[in-house]
Amino acid sequence: MGWGTLITRRLKVFSLALFVYFDYKAVQKRVQWVSAVKKNAIWAKTHERNARRVLNLMIELEGLWVKMGQYLSTRADVLPEPYIEVLKQLQDSLPPRPLEEVCGTIEKELGKPMRQLFATFDVDPLATASIAQVHRATLEDGREVVVKVQHDGIKEIILEDLKNAKSLIEWIAWAEPQYDFNPMIDEWCKEAPKELDFNHEAENTRTVSKNLSRKTEGGSGSVSSDVDVLIPEIIQSTEKILILEYMDGIRLHDNDSLEEYGVDKKRLVEEITRAYAHQIYIDGFFNGDPHPGNFLVSKEPPHKPILLDFGLTKRISQSMKQALAKMFLSCAEGDQVALLSAFAEMGLKLRVDMPQQSMEIASIFFRQSTTATEAKENIKALNEQRERNAKALQEKMKLNKKEVKHFNPVDAFPGDAIIFMRVLNLLRGLSASLNVRIVYLDIMRPFAESTLLGNMTRGPSTNGEWIYDSPVNSEVESKLRSLLLEMGSDKILGLQVCAYKDGKVIIDTAAGTLGKYDPRPVQPDSLFPVFSVTKGITAGMVHWLVDQGKLKYEETVADIWPKFGTNKKELIKVQKLISLMLCNETVFQDTNRLICHFAIKVYHLLNHTSGLHNALGDVVKTDPMSVCDWEEMLDQIAKSTPETEPGSSQIYHYLSFGWLCGGLIEV
C-alpha cells in the first residue's frame, strides 16, 4: 500500500472525528433551550446520524476500525442505543476479498496449487472480518475444515490504523480530559500486531484448549472438571494461513436461530464466563477479544459455546494472576484495604488516597450484567457516581472544577489489567446484547478463590512456616510458639502477641496471614484495626502525661487545645449571648453549649462524662472513610458540641474517645 493511500486514511479518520465532535458540541448548545421531550428526540437523531457516519467510514477503511466497531457494538451497557443498532452490522461479514487474491495467498503460503491442497473449496466465504476471511473446504483425506486467509496488505493497514487511533485518542484526551483512554490504546498497540501471525494464533488455540480440558485443584478443593466449551482443532498454520477443524454452529447475533434451536442464552453466557474465569484465574492465559463474532453455539444439545479466534491472547505472570484474583475478591467482600493492596501488587499507582472511590470504580467492572434496556438506565446512575467521585476528588485535592477535569488520579496503569478489564467489559456487553442477566461475582468467584487460596500456607507446619521467622525473646515465647502452631489448626487466620515485663520485651511474635484473601504473612509490625483496644492505650498515655507533670486532670481542655470548641474571641460572643438568654430560649441553649465546651476538663474525657459521646457519628455516617484523615477528624471533634453538661452523665464514648484523647496528647 502506497504512502498516498495511508495519508488519505488518516485524513478521513481525523476529518470525521472533528465533524462528529463539533456536531455534538453544537447540539449541546442547542438543547439547553428546549423541553425534555424535544431534547431526547434531538439527541436520538444526533446519535443515529453520527453512528451511521462512523459505520460508513469503518466499512470503507476496514482494518482496525472494523475491530473497534465490533467492540463498541457490544457495549450496550454504556453506548446510546442508536450506536449499538447501527454498529451491530459490523458483526456480520464485510465485503469479501476477490477469490483470486485468496487463492494466491493460499498457494504462496502452502507452496502447492489449490487442487493439490483441497478436494473442495467453497467460493463464497463463511465470514469476512477485519484481518482475514474464512472459507469452508474439504481436505484430500476427507476432513471438513475451515481455511482462514489473511487479507493481502492488511499488515501495513493495521499498523497505520494503530498510529491513527493513538493520535485520535491523544486528541480526545486533550479536548475532553475526563475521557483519557491512552492506557488502553497503548496496550492495544502492543498486542494487536500479534494477531497478524497465524502461527501465533495456532499455538494460542492449542494452549487454551489444553488448559480448559484439565481438572484444576485449588486451595479450597476442586473448582471444576472440564469447562463445557468447544474449541476447533488446529490442522495447519503459516503466518497468513490457518486451517482448523470445521464446527457447525449458530452465530450469537442470529436470535431467530437461537430461539429455533432452543438455546438457553443465560446458560450460554454463564458457560462462556466460566471459560474466561478459568483462563484468567487458573491458567493466566486468556483470549483478550471475546466479542460476539468470536463465538458460535453448537446446534446439538446442550448447545455448547464454540470459542474462536485466539489471535489476541494475553499471558500474565503468577503474581499478576494473584493480584487480579485479590482485586476481584476484595470487591466481593467490600475489603478496601485488600483492594488497595491488590492495586499495589499489580502495579496500579494512584496519585491520591481515596479507598472508597477506588472500591466503587473497581466494583463497576464486576457488577451484575443487565439487559440492554436496563443498561440504559444504569448509564445515568454511573454518570451520577462519576460526578460524585469527581466532587470527592475536588474536595480531597483542593481543586477547582477546571483543575479536577484535567487531574488524572492514576499515575500508572498496568497493561495486563487493561486487557483484563476489556475482557470484563466485552463479556458484559455480550450479556446485554443477548438480553440476559448474570452475576459475575458468583460465577467467577470460585476460580479466583482457587488461585488465591491455593497459594496460601494454612494451618501448622512441621517446620514452623506458619510462625513468622523472628528471634525468640524468652523461654516463655518459645512455649507460646508451640501453642500458636496448635491454634493454626483451628482455622485462625493470623495473630500477634507482644508482652513486656519490667519494661523488657519478653514476647514479640506473630503467625498466620493478613486476611482471607491476603497471603502475606503477619509480622510483628503489621498494622490491624483494633477498634476500642486503643482506648486503653490513649487513656494510658494521658495518665502518663499527668504523671510527668505535663497535664493536670482539672485543666480545661480548651486551654490546652486551642482549637477545641472555640477560641478566645468566642468568649466575647458568649458574654454577649448571656445578655440575651432571658429573651430567647434557643439563644439560651446555644449559649449553654458554648459554655459547656469551656467547662470540659481532662478528667471528663477520661471518665466518659464530657457529653461528646455521640460526636463524629454523623460525620462517619456520611463518609465512613473520613476516619482515615487524622487532621479532618481532629477538626470535626474540636467543633463538636456536648449533648449533656460535662460531668452530669457518664455515657460510653464509643467513637469519639480516641480522637479526644489523641488530640489532647498531640498538642
539 in Cβ contact with 661 (< 8 Å): yes
DSSP structure class, residue 97: P
321 in Cβ contact with 450 (< 8 Å): no
Nearest to 161 by CA among 376, 285, 9, 278: 9
Amino acid at 171: W
Q: Please state, in angstroms and rounded to a whole number, the distance separating the CA atoms of residues 338 and 643.
A: 37
Q: Which residues fall within 8 angstroms of residue 625, CB to CB, at 6 or more apart?
A: 336, 354, 355, 356
Got the DSSP string for 110-128?
Answer: HSS-HHHHEEEE-SS-SEE
Q: Please state, in angstroms and rounded to a whole number, the distance separating the CA atoms of residues 167 and 182.
A: 10
Q: Which residues fall within 8 angstroms of residue 47, CB to CB, at 6 or more apart?
A: 80, 81, 82, 83
Amino acid at 370: T
In the annotation, is 289 catalytic?
yes
All three cell numbers of 137:
473446504
All three cell numbers of 445:
468467584
What are the phi and psi torsion angles at 119 (to 5°)? -75, -40
Amino acid at 403: E
Give 493-501 contacts, CB < 8 A, sequence gap 24+.
494/521, 494/522, 495/522, 496/522, 496/524, 496/526, 496/528, 498/524
Nearest to 451 by CA among 212, 275, 281: 281
- The C-alpha angle 97, 101, 104, rounded to 5 degrees, equals 150
What are the phi and psi torsion angles at 399 (to 5°)? -105, 155
Reported as half-sphere exposure (CB side, CA atoms, 13 A), residue 83 has a value of 20
Catalytic residue, from 77, 289, 416, 518: name it.
289
All three cell numbers of 450:
482457587
HEC string of 566-594? Answer: CCHHHHHHHHHHHCCCCCCHHHHHHHHHH
Q: Please state, in angstroms and rounded to a whole number, the distance separating the CA atoms of residues 70 and 629.
A: 45
Q: Please state, in angstroms and rounded to a whole number, the distance separating the CA atoms of residues 149 and 243.
A: 9
Q: Which residues fall within 8 angstroms of residue 319, CB to CB, at 6 or more apart?
A: 345
Q: List active site positions.
A: 289
